[in-house]
Chain A
């Protein structure tokens, strides 16, 4: 018997640790390229202010990077510690991109990040610039492989189920890595990181401008970040549209939940809902209330005016029809696993495509035993399974809308910032500066809503259509889960406290201590040339 409480706690732990980890990833992805851009300008122009910029933003990058690395470790091991069935079922495919990520990307990023911090006086300017680029390349390649792995969970391509090994077997590397889903997710996520980094640099620069400190430094950083931000935000929005269309094609349940489509749409006038309160229990919007813009949804999603988008009612009917075959598939597979009877294998092969729905039905069967499904209870089980095949609509609908709304808000802020910065009047536009400052953490939080949209929308599957989340978890006791959850909660709370404290402290301190009125404006051991490079980050 699978204990639903253990599964739920495993899900909670994975969701919390993954979301926590991702608070630090976007800044790493984006800041590395901003650092590389700043250092490039330094190497080309030779102006020391750009070196100062690289070193100052690099220090803040370092504070963020440490926790990103630390919490990333959890992710690499959590599949094994908490999702044993998942790891067994898809490890043959899913483990590959994770291992390649380590080999190709993470090793490079982590080795060179040490040189980036400690190596300023130990190599030529050009060599150091190359090191910085390798860090940026490493962190983004790392994202690429992780998202290839994630895309496999969303759309399992390049592998098929093998009853001999009872797992998905990998058979096409090219299909896996060139999956549209993988490429789409990667660019969308990676560039979302650029948006976060741009807002971070722009916001802290705005803080200096508001406080009238480090003026030249802040003006340059602000302009670079604002321009970087405009381009990145535009790209994220465009790529987000492409991602939505892919969801429509490969994960119709996710799309229906995202748009709150209880019923199949009515093209072309179907409105795009802006506000509604989907009620998962009653399968309709609260008070049947919604505000939408007619004629927008169909072309937005289908890129046509005539295609109807299947609603949750239709998708549930479709799922319901697959449950019976799915149960037959699972029972035949079990029979084959125990007896190696070729007839059982033949029966399995016949129903194989619906196997996932058989597993999905397991938790609704008496004693979670599919053998106890009878003609008298199959209708009820099929109905419950069909209902369970749709993700939580309320969460999906709003996570998606929050992400989009803020995406456009960022575009507006970056656009004003870039406009006034290019006209050299940004210091007079104090409202833009204030807005930029208050928005520093928002893009990072919004990327989390992106992940909630992607992963809540994948439910109830851990591997879409093949393995339900319910079956994927390790068979731990409640005690184990409570122990680890409490530990993570305690540690991660301490970490975020320490990180925020240091981030504020060093951001307030500012780039060059000489010009800083901060209390710890230490005389940094004299001119740089007297300071050894290896023992310290030489700008400090």
Chain B
């Protein structure tokens, strides 16, 4: 296989790694935001929950930024087209994402009930909404999006944005994503929290994990009936990245199962996802939150991996002009860019993982409600 094709595949995998990182790390913080009002029945309890992820949310959030940057660099046409066609949804996502850092930093800096209550609602919305949108984006992409390109590479949107928010499969994916984030948040709150936060977190996380597993199975069955996309005949993986010069694409129900039929080993991916969700719920039930946290991460790998395995090589298929569907082959950067980006990734991703782990170790240990209560100016 040509080097360019290999680079494209490597970057498709790395994109998956980034999306999993985003789901796991940002999702965890989002879940804490979502649960804040339910886990913490009074101000001190809420502040304790916030202080559990306090030293880390800022670093975690960079997975989101890096996700954006990496899609831009590795799949520029996907970045340009998906962010623009999903405009209203993306803007809502952005609004949530920018409210959150401010909520963290400002909530506990003023000792007034209304002030803190307002920010707590901000946490709920800015935690739940992005996770629903994150999942719904996968749901929409799996069903194909209505867009086409003009000769110069400019996209045109062919359907209303309302559909992205209100289609049932996307909503299912959105709730699945929210459940996974709540599960991850619950595991973290149990790792660093004490009663009553510990017990409440367990309750919500176990429920969320089991719900996620059920939704994942339902979604899997549903996908059999959704129209999938497939290239007709041979496609050159090393083709020049130009969606306007791509081979024809067919659309038919069940086509998303093609990869699983061709490579049965891929069934391991959804199985791992299910093991992750159920295993996480069981470990949390059994009071093993650290194990649960890692199984929660496995659930993300399984979920995003399943979507990727079903769609590969497609990234964002077009329902109105299927031959212009964006795929790993036609939406990527040049070999030169992918190569340089890989060099930086190989150097810096291990470094990021190393210092993030160190940060978690330095800050390890239980966060006690009394100590948070005594500190007027922590989060």
Contact = CB atoms under 8 A, between A and B. Distances in A.
Contact of B337 (A170, A522, A535): A170
Interface string A320-343: 000000000000011001101000
A99 B73 contact: yes
B337 A96 contact: yes
B362 interface: yes
A309 to B, nearest CB: 35
B157 interface: yes
Nearest to A108: B355
Contact of A337 (B77, B98, B244): B244
B153 A115 contact: no
A66 B99 CA distance: 10
Given A85-B153, A111-B355, A540-B378, A74 B98 contact: yes
A534 B94 CA distance: 30
A87 B69 contact: no
Interface stretch (B33-41, B101-109, B218-226, B276-284): B101-109
B211 interface: no
A536 B372 CA distance: 7
A110 B244 contact: no
A178 interface: no
Interface in B54-86: 54-59, 61-62, 64-66, 68-74, 76-77, 79-84
A364 interface: no
Contact of A524 (B69, B241, B340, B376): B376
A110 B372 CA distance: 23
B375 A87 contact: no
A35 B62 CA distance: 23
A47 to B, nearest CB: 24
Interface in A77-97: 77, 79-96
A70 interface: yes
Interface string B204-215: 000000000000
A73, A123, A487, A502 interface centre (most CB from chain B within 10 Å): A73
A106 B55 contact: no
Contact of A170 (B64, B77, B334, B359): B334
A166, A170, A534 interface centre (most CB from chain B within 10 Å): A534
B91 A170 contact: no
Given A81-B91, A111-B59, A104 B348 contact: yes
Interface stretch (A229-237, A239-247, A298-306, A476-484): A476-484
Contact of B72 (A71, A99, A106, A487): A99
B58 A535 contact: no
Interface stretch (B1-9, B267-275, B310-318, B363-371): B363-371
B163 interface: no
Given A483-B88, A536-B378, A111 B76 contact: no
A95 B367 CA distance: 40
B363 A122 contact: yes
Given A115-B55, A535-B367, A491 B70 contact: no
A333 B153 CA distance: 12
B121 interface: no
Interface in B165-219: none
A86, A118, A338, A537 interface centre (most CB from chain B within 10 Å): A118
Nearest to A127: B362
Contacts, number: 293
Contacts of A376: none
A32 to B, nearest CB: 14
Contacts of A102: 62, 65-66, 69-70
Contact of B344 (A103, A475, A506): A103
A167 interface: yes
Interface in A446-485: 471, 474-476, 480, 483-484
Nearest to A173: B340
Interface residues of A, number: 92
B367 A73 contact: no
B148 to A, nearest CB: 11
A369 B371 CA distance: 69
Interface string A150-186: 0000000000001011110111010000000000000
A89, A110, A111, A483 interface centre (most CB from chain B within 10 Å): A111
Contacts of B76: 87-88, 90-92, 95, 167
Contacts of A122: 362-363
Nearest to B119: A498
B51 interface: yes
Contacts of A502: 106, 109-110
B333 interface: yes
Contact of B51 (A63, A164, A165, A535): A535
A525 interface: yes
B376 A525 contact: yes
B377 A77 contact: no
A259 interface: no
Interface string A278-321: 00000000000000000000000000000000000000000000
A95 B102 contact: no
A398 B203 CA distance: 62
Contacts of A338: 151
Query: Closest 8 A-B residue pairs measured CB to CB?
Result: A91-B76, A80-B83, A95-B73, A540-B377, A66-B105, A111-B59, A536-B378, A95-B72
Interface of B: 48, 51, 54-59, 61-62, 64-66, 68-74, 76-77, 79-84, 87-88, 90-91, 94-95, 97-102, 104-106, 109-111, 151-157, 161, 240-242, 244-245, 333-334, 336-337, 340-341, 344-345, 348-349, 352, 355-356, 359, 362-363, 365, 367-368, 371-372, 374-378
Given A119-B362, A531-B371, 9 more contacts: A80-B72, A80-B83, A87-B79, A90-B76, A91-B76, A91-B77, A95-B79, A98-B73, A491-B99
